[in-house]
């Protein structure tokens, strides 16, 4: 009982429980259809003609496909915590960064290339700089001009894709070069996006552990005025959160673009801002800002991907999937909502009281 209570008070308890529930659906479905119930967790090595020997399995697939949302969720968590608002431009910024990068790699006006016009590193740096510029733009609007985050980021939400198309001369630019495609493919047997995501998570965790950034951002998110009196530069910190959010959007954009070896302005990162916000919420973070739990957001990101993958495994068509996804999300969010938690607590208290009487 004691250990159970300890587990229950663990901040990641509910996000992880939600993820486990989604997995359980897979297992039950497999069992019901006569497939080995553990096939969900099975990871095997497969030989492919294109990528050589690679890891294969549904879990690997979820972690791989969930990379972009997980990367976005890192930046989104910081933005939500510092400014009690969301950055809804991240999906469009991903697309803009990808377009800029592909334009640089292919050369302006070139629609398809197999050779790189500039070294790959320059292309990647260009994408990241573009991400930082977008982040700085959002950050300035929110932190220095005190525009509501939703409105401020709405500008790039609607404009960034169009700017991307402009940069690509209205073309879908294909960069069919193996050194570029590698980012969205495999490093040895492991999908490269998983490694990139892991690096992002590790770097951010180290920064949060080794510097006071985490406490600063939370402090500003909880009470910006009091933080200022205590010597924090509230505006700079909010700006910084948006800047980092832009940077992570560019990294997610690089991954997404490399997967399809092209810059498809209209489709890269489409609706991913919503998934990123949802990840933060599923991770048990309050969208009202303040305290944050980065690990929760990451678990939330993979939960969303697990739901999508599960629905496809269950044979739900991709057109219908959002309906089921919505239902599952509602259930998870209700479970994590404070009034529901209170309700459960009262129920168990009432049961305990009854037990004493009996």
Partner 1 sequence: MEENVVLTARGISMTFPGVKALDNVDFTLRKGEIHALMGENGAGKSTLIKCLTGINDFETGEIHIDGIDGPVKNHSTRDAQNVGISTVYQEVNLCPNLSVAENLFIGREPLTKLHTIDRQSYNKRSQKIMDELGISVDVTQNLENYSLAIQQMVAIARAVDMECKVLILDEPTSSLDDEEVEKLFTLMRKLRDNGVGIIFVTHFLEQVYAVCDRITVLRNGSFVGEYPIADLPRVKLVAAMMGKDLDDLAEIKKEQKDFSKEPMEIAAKGLSHAGTVKPFDLDIHKGEVVGIGGLLGSGRSELARCIYGADKAQTGTLEVNGEQVKINQPIDAMNKGMGMLPDDRKAEGIIADLSVRENIILALQAKRGMFRQLSRAQQEEIADRYIDLVQIKTASKETLVKQLSGGNQQKVILARWLATDPDFLILDEPTRGIDIGTKSEIQKLIVKLAGEGKSVLFISSEIEEMLRTCNRMVIMRDGQKVGELDHELSQQSVMKAIAGGES
Under the rule (CB under 8 A), what is the footprint of partner 1? 210-213, 215-216, 218-219, 222-223, 225-233, 290-291
Q: Which two tokens stand for residue 261?
A: 């070896």
CB of 230 to partner 1, least distance (A): 5
Task: Tell me how far apart the alpha carbons of residues 16 and 25 are, in angstroms, rounded to a whole number.
Answer: 14
* 3-state DSSP of 160-197: HHHHHHHHCCCCCEEECCHHHHHHHCEECCEEHHHHHH
219 vs 279 by CB, closer to partner 1 = 219
Query: Please, what is the angle between helix 272-282 and helix 90-106, to 10°?
Result: 130
> Tokens for 146?
């005190």
- Torsion sign over Cα 5, 9, 15, 16: negative
Of the candidates 282, 300, 284, which has an alpha carbon nearest to the alpha carbon of residue 292? 284
Q: In the complex with partner 1, which residue's Cβ is closer, 292 or 302?
A: 292
The whole-angstrom distance between residue 32's C-alpha and the CA centroid of its chain comes to 32
Q: Which is nearer to partner 1, 32 or 229 (CB)?
A: 229
What is the spatial distance between Cα 344 and Cα 349, in angstroms, rounded to a whole number? Answer: 8
- CB of 81 or CB of 192, closer to partner 1: 81
Query: Least distance (Å) from partner 1 to the CB of residue 220?
Result: 9
Closest CA to 169 of 263, 92, 253, 93: 263
Decide whether 34 or 231 has the Cβ nearer to partner 1.
Answer: 231
**C-beta of residue 118 within 8 angstroms of C-beta of residue 105:** yes
Beta strands in 148-221 (DSSP E): 173-175, 186-187, 190-191
Q: Minimal distance in Å, beta carbon 77 to partner 1?
A: 16
- If one counts every other C-beta atom within 10 angstroms of the C-beta of residue 115, the result is 10
Least separation in angstroms between residue 227's CB and partner 1 is 7
Is 262 strand, coil or helix?
strand
Q: What is the end-to-end Cα distance of the chain in Å, rounded? A: 20
Minimum CB distance to partner 1, residue 80 (Å): 14
Q: Whole-number minimum distance, CB 218 to partner 1, in Å?
A: 7
Looking at beta carbons only, is 91 or 284 nearer to partner 1? 284
| Cβ proximity to partner 1, 29 vs 291, nearer residue | 291
Q: Where are the beta strands (DSSP E) in the chain?
A: 44-48, 52-56, 112-113, 173-175, 186-187, 190-191, 262-263
CB 275, min distance to partner 1, A: 26
Minimum distance between the CB of residue 301 and partner 1, rounded to whole angstroms?
Answer: 24
Nearer to partner 1, 225 or 354 (CB): 225
């Amino acid at each position: 009982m004691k250990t159970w209570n300890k587990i229950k008070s663990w901040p990641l308890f509910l996000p992880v429980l939600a993820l486990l529930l989604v997995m359980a659906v897979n297992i039950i479905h497999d069992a019901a259809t006569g497939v080995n119930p553990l096939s969900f967790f099975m990871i095997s090595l497969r030989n492919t003609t294109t990528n050589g020997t690679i890891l294969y399995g549904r879990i690997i697939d979820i972690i791989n496909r969930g990379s972009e949302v997980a990367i976005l969720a890192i930046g989104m968590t910081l933005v939500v915590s510092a400014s009690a608002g969301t950055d809804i431009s991240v999906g469009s910024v991903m697309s803009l960064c990808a377009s800029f990068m592909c334009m640089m790699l292919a050369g302006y006006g070139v629609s398809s290339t197999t050779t790189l016009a500039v070294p790959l590193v320059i292309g990647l740096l260009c994408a990241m700089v573009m991400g930082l510029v977008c982040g700085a733009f959002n950050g300035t609007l929110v932190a220095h001009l005190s525009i509501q985050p939703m409105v401020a980021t709405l500008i790039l939400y609607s404009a960034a894709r169009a700017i991307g198309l402009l940069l690509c001369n209205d073309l879908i630019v294909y960069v069919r070069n193996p050194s570029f495609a590698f980012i969205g493919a495999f490093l040895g047997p492991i999908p490269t996006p998983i490694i990139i995501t892991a690096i992002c998570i590790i770097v951010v965790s180290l920064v949060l552990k080794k510097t006071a950034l985490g406490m600063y951002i939370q402090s500003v998110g909880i009470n910006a005025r009091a933080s200022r009196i205590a010597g924090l530069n509230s505006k700079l910190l909010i700006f910084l959160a948006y800047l980092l959010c832009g940077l992570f959007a560019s990294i997610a954009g690089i991954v997404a673009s490399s997967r399809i070896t092209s810059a498809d302005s209209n489709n890269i990162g489409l609706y991913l801002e919503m998934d990123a916000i949802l990840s933060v919420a599923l991770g048990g973070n309050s969208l009202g800002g303040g305290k944050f739990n980065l690990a929760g957001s990451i678990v939330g990101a993979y939960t969303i991907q697990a739901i999508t993958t599960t629905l496809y495994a269950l044979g739900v068509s991709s057109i219908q999937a959002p309906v089921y996804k919505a239902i599952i999300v509602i259930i998870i969010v209700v479970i994590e909502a404070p009034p529901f938690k209170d309700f459960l607590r009262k129920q168990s208290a009432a049961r305990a009281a009854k037990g004493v009487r009996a």
